[in-house]
Amino acid sequence: MSDLIKNIVRFILFIFFQVFILNEVPPLHQFIVPYIYFLFILWLPFNINRFFLLIIAFAFGTTLDYFTGIGGLHAAPCVLIAYLRPFLLNLLIPQDTTENSYIEPSIKSMGWAPYSLYIAILTFMHHFLLVLIEWLQFGNFVYFIGKVAGTTAVSLLLIFITEMLFFRKAKFRTNAA
Amino acid sequence: MKNIFLFIQRNFTFLSFLLLEIACIVLLSNSSKTHQVFFSAASNEITGKFDKQYNNWRYYFSLKETNAQLVAENARLRNLLPSNFQAFDNSKKTMIDSTVRDSLGKIRKYTLFPAKVIGNTVTLQTNYLTLERGSLQGVKKGMAVIGSDGIVGVVVLVSDNNARVMSLLHRNSRVSAMLKKDNIAGSIEWDGTDPNFLLLKNIPKSAKVAKGDSVLTSTYSANFPSHLLVGTINSVVADATSNFYTLKVKTATNFFSIQYVYLVENLRYAEQTAIESTPEKN
């Protein structure tokens, strides 16, 4: 399967999974909201053009907004993590080896520690901006701190489970591709 | 001029990032300022189609509960049928007149029609319902939405075949409500914590409130008919620094399993909102 088709399928699956399964989960607590859709942006290939990365993230976030009802609420954090992603990847991986030989970020292509750090930082940034936007509209400071901590923890758990369930074979890039 | 182009070229990614974020913030401020859903009617149709597909499956799992609700409501309404009541033994027969203008000079103010709920969330801070009934079937913006047990929300966006409803579980939702006991009016809001409970604010401390009291829609609302059940008081939060109670109200409607609702059209809605929004002239 080509990378393009694979990512289009992922786009659709992540949106539907978020809207029709995670958003329907009965709420445990105000602070605990399961989010996993932004993993789509974290899984995009290494060598994608930075401008296209931003456009894709904006389109992805806006699509989710169409389903949930408030414009820009999810698009803004998506664009933020898409912007920060290349900087973080440059810091975390050895430039010559990984980026040239693997297609996309995964445990195998980056190693346990750098990959977890990459996921954790971007998840935190995403929720920080998302809850900040909500907090500016309503809520108090305890709500802000609690919800950032709660949602980040739940998201990291979900991402961990996803990585265990869907083991992505880290493909080497061949000369032909 | 050349320098400007060079600057744009060098910072192209950062500038496009800023541009997209600004676009997001503009969308956000528009949608929260006017309490409306941001998208056009066309995109509402598209997401409505997906919602309907999903509801076809989901509906199956709550059939039992929906059935029970509808049966309970039918029983309540059947109890109101005139054939249940026997007149005292005078030989005249009572006729119930159902025309729009009855002989006592009353006119109809509200009409109700049913709609199927095809999309609903309770977990977000801003929750909406999607109904499978739109402007072609007579839905208008601002119509009240009630369930079989209590009130549900207000229509905020209408497309040809679908409508979006701002649920009571929305941080911007405000509905005028009153205590059943002494008709003191306050406002029903939601604080985003628990989908089972709403807050009734601005009830003065002179009012006598007790746990279990009913809260009804008030007579001041332009879209809701009066005396519809909102919920029952669950607990009273007495704030020593204020002259008002904050009451925690258990919702009468079960938002988790809602499948059918009624849309209420106030035939004098336009007239009432027009006169309320006209500035006073001296």
A128 lies within 8 A of chain B by CB:
no
CA angle (A172 as vertex; A170, A173 as ends), nearest 5:
130
Please name the amino acid found at residue B83.
Answer: S
Q: A59 lies in which domain range?
A: 3-165
Residue B108 CB coordination number (10 Å): 11
Quickly list H helices, A22-140: 39-42, 50-68, 75-92, 98-101, 107-110, 112-137
Name the superfamily (CATH) of residues B41-78+107-170+258-266.
Rod shape-determining protein MreC, domain 1 (2.40.10.340)
Tell me, yes or no, whether A170 lies in a domain: no
**Mean of the per-residue pLDDT values of chain B:** 83
pLDDT digits (tens, 9 = 90+) for A158-172: 999 998 888 777 666
User: Does pLDDT of A83 surpass 80?
Assistant: yes
User: Does pLDDT of A137 surpass 80?
Assistant: no
Tell me, yes or no, whether A102 lies in a domain: yes
For the ranges B81-90, B118-127, B194-203, B237-246, the one whose mean pLDDT is highest: B194-203
Residues facing B154 on adjacent strands = B144, B166
Are B13 and A71 within 8 A, CB to CB?
no
Same fold, B41-78+107-170+258-266 and B175-251: yes
pLDDT digits (tens, 9 = 90+) for B73-127: 887 887 777 666 655 555 445 555 555 555 666 677 888 888 889 888 888 888 8
Please name the amino acid found at residue A55.
Answer: I
Instruction: Report the percentage of chain A scoring pLDDT > 90.
Output: 41
Domain B175-251 matching CATH 2.40.10.350: the answer reads yes
Tell me, yes or no, whether A174 lies in a domain: no
**What is the ipTM for the molecules in this complex?**
0.78
Mutate to test the interface with B, among A19, A66, A84, A87 (most CBs of B within 10 A): A66
**CA-CA distance, B204 to A48, in Å (whole number)?**
61
CATH number, domain of A87, equals 1.10.1760
Q: Helices A75-92 & A112-137, crossing angle to 10 degrees?
A: 150
Structural domains in chain A (count): 1
Q: Helices A50-68 & B41-61, crossing angle to 10 degrees?
A: 60
A142 lies within 8 A of chain B by CB:
no
Q: Name the one residue in this structure whose structure tokens are 């901590």.
A: A149
> Up-side HSE of residue A93: CA atoms within 13 Å toward CB?
27
Domain residue limits, chain B: 41-78+107-170+258-266, 175-251
Which B residues, 61 through 120, put their C-beta within 8 Å of a C-beta on chain A? none
